[in-house]
Amino acid sequence: MKKLIFLLFAVCLIFGACSNDETTQEEDTAMLDKMYKEIVEFSLINSQPCTNPEDWAYMKLDPSGCSGYIVYSKKIDLAVFQKKIDKYINTRGKIYSKWGLYADYADCVMVIPPTGIECIDEKPTLVFGVYTK
């Protein structure tokens, strides 16, 4: 009986060690696209008409400031939304590292923070101030 258990354990270890859960760069990119689409869908930006800009808010998509901002309805669960964004950022970082797709932050054009939101054609739209010298 002990030999059978040991044999089953050994087989499980071998199959576990030999399992190939590696993904291709295309599969990883598709997964990131899917995660981003889920974030956009959860934000309600495409399914909820904008009639009052006060019903909407925005947040950064990346701590670096290079990826811009995303608008979301204040009706959503903000904690869940933030978790989705954090998971996306974390996964994107791992995938970029895995495939050597490091963002060149030296060439990154910092996205200026929006100054507000307006409803244009029933879509929440970020408003950016005009830079003057």
Share in percent of the chain as helix, strand, coil (round to 5): 45, 15, 40
In this prediction the pTM is 0.76
Could you say which DSSP state residue 102 is in? -
Per-residue pLDDT averaged across 3-28, rounded? 62
- For residue 18, the model assigns a pLDDT of 46
Q: What band does 23 get if pLDDT is binned at 50, 70 and 90?
A: very high
What are 39's two structure tokens?
Answer: 């974030």
For residue 88, give the amino acid letter: Y
Note whether residue 33 is domain-resident: yes
Note whether residue 14 is domain-resident: no
First and final C-alpha spacing in the chain: 82
> Number of structural domains, the chain?
1
d(CA 58, CA 116): 9
pLDDT in tens, 55-105: 999 998 877 767 789 999 999 999 999 999 999 999 998 998 999 886 555
Note whether residue 65 is domain-resident: yes
Note whether residue 5 is domain-resident: no
- For residue 111, the model assigns a pLDDT of 73
Note whether residue 13 is domain-resident: no
d(CA 32, CA 92): 7
Domain that holds residue 32: 23-127
Token pair 């909407």 is found at 56
Would you state the torsion angle of the CA atoms of residues 9, 10, 11, 13, taken in this order, to the nearest 10 degrees? 90
Note whether residue 95 is domain-resident: yes
